[in-house]
Structure 1
Amino acid sequence: MTMNVPATASAAETTPRDDYLQALALQACITCWPLYEMQRMRAATSARKAPGLGFAGTSPESTERWCNLFTCERELLTAGKSRVVMPNNDTLYVNAWLDLSAGPLVITLPDTGSRYYVLGLLDYYTNPFAHVGTRTTGNGAGSVLVCGPDWDGELPAEHRAAGRHLRSDTNWVWIIGRVLVDGPADVPAVNELQDRFRMQTLDDWRAGRDSPARRFDSRFAPRAPFSVERFVAMVNDALRACPPPARHAGLFAQFRALGIGADADAVVSPHASAALAHACTRAQQLLDSPEQQVFGMAGTGTSEGWRHPIRLGQSFGDDLLLRAFISRQSIGALETREAAYPRCETDAAGELLSGAHRYTIRFAPGQLPPV
């Protein structure tokens, strides 16, 4: 695909067509931003090395990775050691990227006793469409079947009950799991539980066989600097593997004029290329702004500097701005019933928090959070 960017025109030289392209380009950036972020996260957090299989690629610079296996954080997080946007130190993480294009995968769950855990499942548009664990399926041993949008095979009897058959709208799924840990002395027990999460193809599950991890090419270096060309390439790669929902097909059809969703040999007009370049800058400025500025909210904070978390469900639906905002600032967020993310950036005096100071959080009697 060829994108030709002309010199930027002055405001006086713009036409109604230019205005339309600018508006369309900003809509495209906001709509597609979650795909860009998921491409980056998949490349950054999918496994480079698998037990018994070694490295997926032939060099440290390779973009090849392993999918369809669990990888786990084995230690409590410390400053500077987390790859999680909003980490906590009360759980150990379980991570997996699932490719469902070849058929369903069965996730075997250990008995965790009275210990809280959750596996949050996100489709490639960042919708947290399913949650497995204490709140939903309980703590007992069992399994769930995860399938892509087009699978129509016969469900095993074990997976016909509510919550045991999880259908994703995309063939790529990100699992973000957490298992409760009660301090450093409890870490070995949680590590043993982490090792008991298991993933198999449906055929291998039926036959009682292990399933090997699958190699795939993530194609993009996760820390490469942003560019418009890279953004379009990453989004288009994602769209080929994970088409948008049918209700958004008309919207994405309009984006083809900008080179998004277009064929590789398509030629994009200079004015469309310029509009997209400008929109990428504006979109990042918007998505990096505080939520009250993005959404025009008032009264969402407290006098002590805390901000109430945005309430999320299992799908963003048609709220494309909220979806983009979360993908930019809090990617991997689960629905609010499972995890809430209150934020505080200033102290009770309104001063920005600083690592140079020590702070105390006080709760009134009987007001400790129900955790």
Structure 2
Amino acid sequence: MTRETYATTEGRTALAADAYVYGAPLVHRLWKVRACLQGSSAVPAPTPFNAFAHADGPAAPGTHAPFVPVDLVDSLAQLDLSGGPVRLHVPDTGGAYFVLRFVDAWSNVFAYLGSRATGAGEGDWLVVPPGWAGTVPDGLSGVIDAPTSVVSVVGGLACDGHDDMARIRSLQQELTLTHLGDRAHRTGLPSAESGVPDELRFFEELRVWMADFPPAAADRAYQDRFQPLGLLEEGVSPYTSASPGLVRALTRGLALGRSRVEEALRSAEAGGPQGSWHTEPHLRDYNLDHFGVGTVGPPEWQVPDREASYLLRAVAARWPGQPSHGYEAVDAHTPHDSRGRPFDGAHSYTLRLVKPPPVRAFWSVTVYDGPGGHLAPDPEERHAVGSRTPGLVYGEDGSLTLRLSARRPAEAAGAANWLPVPAGAFRPVMRLYLPERAVLDGSYVIPPVERLRAEARPSSG
């Protein structure tokens, strides 16, 4: 479009939709950062910059975030590098799986530490801000170059249930951050200007945060297109007294951009034959510029088209669960059984794995209730079954048949391989940590879940 086109309401509406798709990952990521600083459902108490917040156990019913894994105990830190580098100490996990993912302000996963990336041993890492040229202290395992001055560290320690929490808590205490900069780091994010109408709040926050957290150099020409929307204005916000035409274009563009992302999200979740499990191992391939410690770069793990990467990034920002590339972990989910029927706890189901999923760490299946994606209450607290579950019964041919039902199966093998489901609608999710090539290229196919016949809904008595 030409500059003259952007002078019309229709032109600015289309441009605002592009700006939403481009900027939503930045705004959504920093909303999460701010929620952690202020306290939210994800963090029990406000946690300042450059400090870890640790979960007190595996996810449980009542956890507000949807589709939370029960295999890992979460650790989360928001780093502010505006005052200089931060030193990160990583404990020795004794061979147990763990991962720390580094996510910049634009939602790019740009570095990993952990079992796959750097090994399970102890180490110290220096996380440095963009353009830093200081002296690296002796005795470090390495340096992590951050693309933006605010970074999220999203961590998980493999846990074998509540009996394993003493070990986990000891590791959490050793996972530490030390600010090494010669200036005080900030205590909060740059604030949007007061007086901006609520319907323009997204664009005001995008304007402020784009200025404070510049994108990759290759993105700046695309970002410059948004000048007619006021997104590149410095100083006083243009949205405190925006013209009616600009307000109309921005609000319509916001709705249009959201619809575009929602449609792409639905398309990403759809497709495949009845009962097939859907995976998205390349959902995080929108990072085109920053490949740090532990990442796998292009061409396989990079989308070829930069503008297409913006939409993929916006979809990933809305995807439930924590950010990770497919080579670290893959989530597979299916909303229907082998005949295309939605799952319902009134029936019992089986999942027969002729061969175990090929992984280098472990795999598990977890059941979540209906559309909310939350764990259902279970007196036995048996929220996942997988390769680390003790006592699983395998067939003589090496196959494994999992039983998904609201009632405990009467037969011993079924009870050993049982995954409880809620009485109503539910959705199973399989997680594969450090998947092998067969998972990533689709040659390993998870079989559909089969519904058993003549199953009645459990009585409430």
Fold-level similarity (TM above 0.5): yes
- Once structures 1 and 2 are overlaid, which stretch shifts more, 256-265 or 266-275? 266-275
Per the alignment, residue 324 of structure 2 pairs with 334
Query: Helix, strand or coil for the counterpart of 1:170?
Result: coil
What is the rounded CA distance, in whole Å, between the counterparts of 2:336 and 2:319 in structure 1? 18
CA positional deviation for 1:227:
4.7
CA positional deviation for 1:47:
5.8
Deviations 1:21-40 (A, max 9, x none): 23211110100001121122
* Amino acid paired to 2:161: G
* Contact 2:9–2:248 (8 Å) recurs in 1: no
Query: Larger C-alpha radius of gyration, 1 or 2?
Result: 2
Query: Helix, strand or coil for the counterpart of 1:342?
Result: strand
* Contact 2:92–2:120 (8 Å) recurs in 1: yes
Per the alignment, residue 61 of structure 1 pairs with none
Task: Give matches, 1:208-247, under 5 Å.
Answer: 215-216=187-188, 219=191, 227-247=198-218
CA positional deviation for 1:217:
5.3
- Unmatched runs of 5 consecutive residues or more in structure 1: 1-13, 50-54, 57-64, 205-210, 221-225
What is the rounded CA distance, in whole Å, between the counterparts of 2:316 and 2:14 in structure 1? 21
CA positional deviation for 1:112:
0.6
What is the rounded CA distance, in whole Å, between the counterparts of 1:248 and 1:331 in structure 2? 26
Deviations 1:271-307 (A, max 9, x none): 333222112112222222364636xx98x53532321
Deviations 1:17-62 (A, max 9, x none): 344323211110100001121122112233649xxxxx87xxxxxx
* Amino acid paired to 2:61: A
1:33 matched to 2:24: yes
Per the alignment, residue 248 of structure 1 pairs with 219
Structure with a larger share of its residues in helix: 1
Per the alignment, residue 248 of structure 2 pairs with 274
* Contact 1:311–1:335 (8 Å) recurs in 2: yes
* Amino acid paired to 2:277: W
* Contact 1:129–1:315 (8 Å) recurs in 2: no
Per the alignment, residue 92 of structure 1 pairs with 73
Q: Identity of aligned pairs, percent?
A: 26
1:69 matched to 2:51: yes
Q: 1:73 to 1:244 in 2, by over 3 A?
A: same
Query: Helix, strand or coil for the counterpart of 2:126?
Result: strand
Deviations 1:95-154 (A, max 9, x none): 000001111101001111011111100000000000011111111111111111121112
Q: 1:354 to 1:243 in 2, by over 3 A?
A: farther
Per the alignment, residue 343 of structure 1 pairs with 333
What is the rounded CA distance, in whole Å, between the counterparts of 1:335 and 1:250 in structure 2? 27
What is the rounded CA distance, in whole Å, between the counterparts of 1:182 and 1:242 in structure 2? 39
Q: 1:140 to 1:331 in 2, by over 3 A?
A: same
Task: Give matches, 1:40-51, under 5 Å.
Answer: 40-46=31-37, 48=39
* Contact 1:99–1:171 (8 Å) recurs in 2: yes
* Contact 1:46–1:96 (8 Å) recurs in 2: no
* Amino acid paired to 1:216: G
Q: Which residue of 195, 198, 203 corresponds with 2:176? A: 198
1:134 matched to 2:115: yes
* Contact 1:305–1:350 (8 Å) recurs in 2: no
Per the alignment, residue 286 of structure 1 pairs with 260
What is the rounded CA distance, in whole Å, between the counterparts of 1:111 and 1:336 in structure 2? 24
* Contact 2:21–2:258 (8 Å) recurs in 1: no
CA positional deviation for 1:325:
0.7
* Contact 2:99–2:115 (8 Å) recurs in 1: yes
* Contact 2:83–2:181 (8 Å) recurs in 1: no
What is the rounded CA distance, in whole Å, between the counterparts of 1:228 and 1:261 in structure 2? 19
State the Cα RMSD in Å. Answer: 3.1
* Contact 1:38–1:126 (8 Å) recurs in 2: yes
Query: Helix, strand or coil for the counterpart of 1:351?
Result: coil
* Contact 2:80–2:185 (8 Å) recurs in 1: no
- Once structures 1 and 2 are overlaid, which stretch shifts more, 355-364 or 192-201? 355-364
Query: Helix, strand or coil for the counterpart of 1:146?
Result: strand
* Amino acid paired to 1:241: D
- Once structures 1 and 2 are overlaid, which stretch shifts more, 354-363 or 331-340? 354-363
Per the alignment, residue 125 of structure 2 pairs with 144
Q: Which residue of 156, 161, 167 corresponds with 2:145? A: 167
Q: 1:355 to 1:218 in 2, by over 3 A?
A: farther
What is the rounded CA distance, in whole Å, between the counterparts of 1:17 and 1:316 in structure 2? 33
Per the alignment, residue 98 of structure 2 pairs with 117
CA positional deviation for 1:195:
1.3
* Contact 2:6–2:228 (8 Å) recurs in 1: no
CA positional deviation for 1:347:
2.4
* Amino acid paired to 2:28: E
Per the alignment, residue 448 of structure 2 pairs with none
* Amino acid paired to 2:36: T
Per the alignment, residue 308 of structure 1 pairs with 279
Q: 1:213 to 1:302 in 2, by over 3 A?
A: farther
* Contact 2:84–2:181 (8 Å) recurs in 1: no
Query: Helix, strand or coil for the counterpart of 1:261?
Result: coil
Tell me the matched-pair count.
Answer: 327
* Amino acid paired to 2:329: A
Query: Helix, strand or coil for the counterpart of 2:56?
Result: coil
Per the alignment, residue 325 of structure 1 pairs with 315
- Unmatched runs of 5 consecutive residues or more in structure 2: 289-305, 363-461
What is the rounded CA distance, in whole Å, between the counterparts of 2:254 and 2:103 in structure 1? 25
Query: Helix, strand or coil for the counterpart of 1:177?
Result: strand
* Amino acid paired to 2:58: L
* Amino acid paired to 2:208: D
What is the rounded CA distance, in whole Å, between the counterparts of 1:360 and 1:123 in structure 2? 41
* Contact 1:259–1:268 (8 Å) recurs in 2: no
* Contact 1:39–1:234 (8 Å) recurs in 2: no
